[in-house]
Amino acid sequence: MIRGEVIKYSDMVAEEGFAIQRGMSFNVNGKSYGIILMSVRNNAPYADRFEDNGTTIIYEGHDVQKNFNKQDVSVKSADQPMYTPKGMLTENGKFYIAAINYKKSLGSAKKIKVYEKIKDGVWVYNGFFNLVDAFIENDGNRNVFKFKLEMIEDDLDTQETYDHIDQLNMEHNRLIPTDVKVAVYARDKGKCVKCGSDKNLHYDHILPFSKGGSSTTVDNIQLLCAKCNLKKHDHIE
């Protein structure tokens, strides 16, 4: 799987080897990295956002589980918890402590694998990020966790497998704003514009980023399958 790949939930399950049931997982099945599922759609349940042209993520922590909510308020009015009722760290707590330890130079940054939901049933793999900071803020209603993640430029998944793909074009897929990705997916009907395949799709710059092509306009972005992307390489068509 490479950064910018369009996937389904089943692809995510196959990639990770288990059914991902929660939006943030610090350690699962002995993996050395964490996983977050994010969304910046208008109807997203949490206030996630991108910064620095997509290279930084501010990810909101998760609400108290309904079965743990002992307050006479909705989960969206209750402070996001650091601990479970039994005193165990929640995923919020695990991410928070890891980030603070990194800031204190008590350990290396935790690597986090990021999947972004762009519409129901459609996800984009955003690659690996380092968890570098965490803080608690009041959103005017309650206290919520915020986690800062910075992109790992040298994506751990792509170093050897995709040497012959247009690496520069793939590298800058992260710069495509979510609203552009959503619009392009709808316009291209979730299929490669060259061959009509709905498998192994990626967002492609029509005029390559390396030649000045924009990542922020729908007119310069298209869906291509991996095979057609290989054929294109870095040539302007």
The CATH class, in words, for 167-232 is alpha beta
70-74, 150-154, 159-163, 223-227 — which one is most confidently predicted on average?
Answer: 223-227
pLDDT-based confidence at residue 143 (cuts at 50, 70, 90): very high
Mean pLDDT for the stretch of residues 113-123: 93
Model pTM score: 0.85
73-80 own/partner pairs: CB under 8 Å, 24+ apart: 76/141, 76/142, 77/141, 77/142, 78/142, 79/142, 79/143, 79/144, 80/142, 80/143, 80/144, 80/145
CATH architecture entry for 5-151: Roll (2.30)
Q: Check whether 84 has a pLDDT greater than 60.
A: yes
Mean of the per-residue pLDDT values of the chain: 86
Q: Check whether 68 has a pLDDT greater than 80.
A: no
Tell me if domain 5-151 and domain 167-232 are identical in fold: no
> What are the distances in angstroms from CA 93 to CA 1, 88, 149, 172?
29, 9, 16, 32
Higher local confidence (pLDDT), 168 or 210: 210
Please report, for the chain, the start and end positions of each structural domain, with discontinuous segments joined by +. 5-151, 167-232
pLDDT of residue 53: 81
Segment among 119-128, 161-170, 228-237 with least mean pLDDT: 161-170
pLDDT of residue 233: 63
The percentage of the chain sitting over the pLDDT mark of 90, rounded to a whole number, equals: 60
pLDDT-based confidence at residue 73 (cuts at 50, 70, 90): confident
